[in-house]
Structures are given as structure tokens and as C-alpha cells.
Structure 1
Amino acid sequence: MDFENRPSPQLTPVAAVQFQEGIFLVLSRWTSLQMAVAEEWGGPTSRKKSEDLVVRIFSMFAQSKETLHVNDLEDFLDEFMVSNFSAELEDGSIEEVAEKLMIMHGECAEGNFSTINDLKATNLVSSSVSYRRQEVCGEEEDDIDSDVDSDSVVDGENDLLGKDSSDMAVDSFAQQTCMDQREMMVDEPVAGITTEDGWTVVSSRKRNGKKT
């Protein structure tokens, strides 16, 4: 979409609040940024840096006295990732994020918050799925513990070493099963969000220096 000659429209107070939330939602789906935060490419303050990025992007739109072009936003995002995370991205995600933000800002200026509402709805679905998986994992642990206690009573096991070894084996299996499910819980919502929002799955590489 061509943004080159489009001036940056002003937002109403309500639209400004919506847009700032929309920025956060878009960045939370930016795989390259979230990887940089999770792996602390920017050091122990990596998460704080990602939060600051939301404010700085919003300020670019709100305080710019001249037309804000999509290329300006791309350059800013590129410089931010290099200077704060030593990450030079060549996966096309910067251009994709910049375009989404430009479109979203234009929609907010028109009082159209449908894109933001869709992102919110997707967030709710993902959170619900994650919570359900945690709940199921907890129930399975309880069931396993109950089975172990019941078997011990029926068998009348008096050998403490044998009982401890059996309990440790069952507990280890339960913990591993739960950990495996939690790992799936972390990975699967990201893939789901990517599909529903039409995002291109991106990869990122950590490098030093700026993009030439």
C-alpha cells in the first residue's frame, strides 16, 4: 500500500488510546522482537526496551509535525533493533510491522477499531487455550498422585526403598508430561496467532552492526 504522500492524520483522545493498545498488540506478535526479548539480546533490560518501543512509536505519530512516511517508520524500527538488541533483521518483518502500524493508524483516525478488536479477540482465545492446558496438566498430576496412594494401600507395601523408588518414577513421569504440555502451550498459540492474523512466519538472526 502506498503511504508516500499521505499526511499523518490526528487522532481523537479515544482513538489515541486504542492506537497505543494496537501498537502493543502488533509488537507482541512480532516474532523477531519477542525472540530478542526472550533471549535477552539487549541484556537484562530487554523487556523494558520493548515496552519503551511502544511509547516511542506512538510518539512518532502523535508528535510528528511533518508527514510520517512508512519508510521513516521502517528506518526507525531497523535502527531500534540494531542499537538496542544488536539485531539486524533481514526477514522482511520490519517492513510488515511498519505497514500494519501505518494502516492501523489510518483506521483509528477514521474511528475504525476493527483491526485492533480482532487482535484483542485473538489474544483472549490464546489466553483461554493456555489456561485450559495448564488446568488439564494440573488435573493429570492430581490423578497420578491419587493412583499412587491407592496402589500403595492395596499392595500394603512395607519396603520403604521400593516405595520411594516407585513414587519417584511416577512423579518424574508426571512432571515430564506436564513440562512437555507446557512447552506445547508456549509454542502453539504463537503459531495460531500467526495463521489467524495472516502474518508471515519470520525468522531472525542476531548480528552486530547496522544494515547497509
Structure 2
Amino acid sequence: MPPAVPAPPPDPKIVLFARGVLAILNAWPVLRIAVQESWGGPNAAAKRSWIASTLVDAFETDPPDQDQVEDILLDSMVEEFDVEIEDGSSETVARDIISAWKAACDGQVDFVLRLEADADRLVGRQLESFRMRGNGDDGWEDTDDGSNEDEMDVDDRAPPLMQPQSVERKPDSIIDDEGFELVQKGRGRPRN
């Protein structure tokens, strides 16, 4: 049997870029919450690494543009974490990934080191995630006044993304000497 030929070492540019992509994804709040809350299942962290490798592989063959990178991010988040990103952060992350590619091509190690330092500062910090409360009103109104269908009002304000749930604390139960729980009077209506 002929001796195994060792694989050639990876291109330093690709290694530097991969480090940058991992740092960017580790710092992306949406993906951090998805991994932290295991939205992708028990292998959520591995799915984050898979997204990074998908991006790096795309750049090795024919570097995509920012829109293509954003599409990869959005598709991956839907497929792997069942999350649709609507906050615009995917555009910023795609732009950062393009910047990391340019820095890696130029051999700018400091750029990637800064990305890694930023991501390292976030390690161990928990992000709070809140479930959105629905009241049955999705905010749409049908007001067909016969005007031109192509015209529409656009509200430039960003919608509120998440609202904290109100938490009602139940008073601690009181147990009597015989082990029975005492029934406590609830807050009734004020009497006149």
C-alpha cells in the first residue's frame, strides 16, 4: 500500500476568513438566542458551525455578493432554527461577512482579531428572549375605499420586536400544623 499523501495545508486566507465568520455569527444576537434557547434542537451550536462552513465554502469557489450572503443566512435560519429574521440584522451580518472576506484577502489579521475579541466579550452573557403576546389582532385593517390598489401607506417606524410578558406571582401557600394548605382570600372587587 503506498504511503498516504498528506493533504495540503488550508489556504491562510480561508482560515482567517473562517475565524472571522465564526466570530461574526457568535456575536449575532438572533443566532445567539437561537442557540441559547436550543431552537434548532440539542445540536444548535453545531448548526451555527454548519452555517459558518456553508458561508466559507461559498467564498472558496466563487465569492457571493452581499445579497447572496444574506440569502444564505436567512435560508439557513429558517431551515435550521425555524426562525424568520425580520429585524434587518441579517443585512448587517452579511455586510460584516463581506468585510471579513475583504480583510482576509488583504491579510488584515487585526480586523479578524477585533471580531474575535468582540465575540469573546459576549461569551457567557445570556440574552433575554421574550415570547410575543398576541391579542388576535395582527395589525391589518381592510379599508377598501375604491382607491388605487397600487398605492399604499408606508409606516417608516420600526414595529416593536418583543414585549416582556407580565409575570404574576402567586402568593406563597400557607400550610397549617396538620399539613393542610390554607385557602387564602383572593383580591376581590372593592366593596362600596
Pick one of 125, 129, 145 that aligns with 1:186: 125
Q: CA deviation at 1:119?
A: 2.2
Runs of 4 or more off by more than 2 Å in structure 1?
119-124, 185-188
Structure 1 position 84 matched with structure 2 position 23? no
Q: CA deviation at 1:187?
A: 4.5
Pick one of 70, 95, 101 that aligns with 2:97: 101
Work out the CA distance in 1 between the residues paired with 2:118 and 2:67.
Answer: 28
Work out the CA distance in 2 between the residues paired with 1:121 and 1:76.
Answer: 25
Q: Which has the higher helix share?
A: 1
- For the structure 1 residues 121 and 37, does the alpha-carbon distance in structure 2 shift closer, same or farther, using more than 3 Å as the test? closer
**Where does structure 2 lack aligned partners over 5 or more consecutive residues?**
1-9, 128-160, 163-192
- For the structure 1 residues 113 and 79, does the alpha-carbon distance in structure 2 shift closer, same or farther, using more than 3 Å as the test? same
Identity %: 27
Work out the CA distance in 2 between the residues paired with 1:119 and 1:29.
Answer: 9
CA deviations 1:134-170 (Å, max 9, x no partner) are xxxxxxxxxxxxxxxxxxxxxxxxxxxxxxxxxxxxx
Pick one of 60, 64, 69 that aligns with 1:73: 69
User: Is the 2:24–2:119 Cα contact (8 Å) retained in structure 1?
Assistant: no
| 1:156 corresponding residue in structure 2 | none
- For the structure 1 residues 13 and 79, does the alpha-carbon distance in structure 2 shift closer, same or farther, using more than 3 Å as the test? same
* Greater relative contact order (CA < 8 Å, ≥ 6 in sequence): 1
Work out the CA distance in 2 between the residues paired with 1:88 and 1:187.
Answer: 21
- State the TM-score, normalized to the length of structure 1: 0.51
Q: CA deviation at 1:112?
A: 1.6
Pick one of 11, 28, 31 that aligns with 1:30: 28
Work out the CA distance in 1 between the residues paired with 2:119 and 2:65.
Answer: 29
Work out the CA distance in 1 between the residues paired with 2:119 and 2:55.
Answer: 21
- For the structure 1 residues 122 and 70, does the alpha-carbon distance in structure 2 shift closer, same or farther, using more than 3 Å as the test? closer
Q: CA deviation at 1:113?
A: 2.2
Alignment partner of 2:125: what SS? helix
Structure 1 position 14 matched with structure 2 position 23? no
**Where does structure 1 lack aligned partners over 5 or more consecutive residues?**
1-11, 131-184, 189-202, 205-212
CA deviations 1:82-125 (Å, max 9, x no partner) are 1111100111110000000001101211122222121234456x
Based on CA coordinates, which of the two structures has the bigger radius of gyration? 2
Q: CA deviation at 1:27?
A: 0.5
